[in-house]
Amino acid sequence: MATAGQRLILAFDFGVRRIGVAVGNEILGQATVLEPLPARDGIPDWNEMTRLVDEWHPDLFVVGLPLNMDGSESEMSTRARKFGKRLYGRYGKPCEMVDERGSTREAKAIAREQGHRGNYREEGVDGIAAQLILESFFALREGLPPRA
């Protein structure tokens, strides 16, 4: 396992139909969008997840925590935490939760700048949101304010 500062990290934007995915390395402090994973009621295809884990060999998982704007927990927060616990249970890698408030809004703005037509149900912004979540994680580790 890599030491802190050198870890490869897979980040997830938990959703009930799709789970956004991004990958990044702490040394660079940057994240790259990967294809989202389809989900059924928040449950991913675990075979696809295993393929992803086997391909990237992450040292750590980061999962976005969808808090309400006032910082309180929501039903989706509970489900995202459960998803993080399942990742840990299946793959034995640590999982950290990161406040993701505002990430979807910012992801939609980025998608518009990139020329997306605005049909986010079809095009999805899940990967961009996962990228923002991971970049927020990196910023917090560096003592910088998170994005958004």
User: Which residue, 111, 113, 115, 137, is CA-closest to 126?
Assistant: 111
Of all residues in the chain, what percent are helix, strand and coil, respectively (each to 5)? 40, 25, 35
User: Which residue, 128, 122, 123, 86, is CA-closest to 109?
Assistant: 128
Domains of the chain and any CATH numbers: 8-141 (3.30.420.140)
Work out the burial of residue 10: count CB atoms within 10 Å of its CB; fewer than 13 is exposed, 13-18 middle, 19 or more buried: buried
Q: What is the dihedral of CA 107, 113, 116, 118, to 10 degrees?
A: 70
* pTM of the full structure: 0.84
Q: What is the pLDDT of residue 122?
A: 45
The tens digit of pLDDT for each residue in 93-142 reads 999 999 987 667 666 666 677 666 555 454 568 888 899 999 989 988 77
Return the DSSP state at 3.
P
Predicted confidence (pLDDT) at residue 5 exceeds the cutoff of 80: no
Q: What is the pLDDT of residue 148?
A: 47
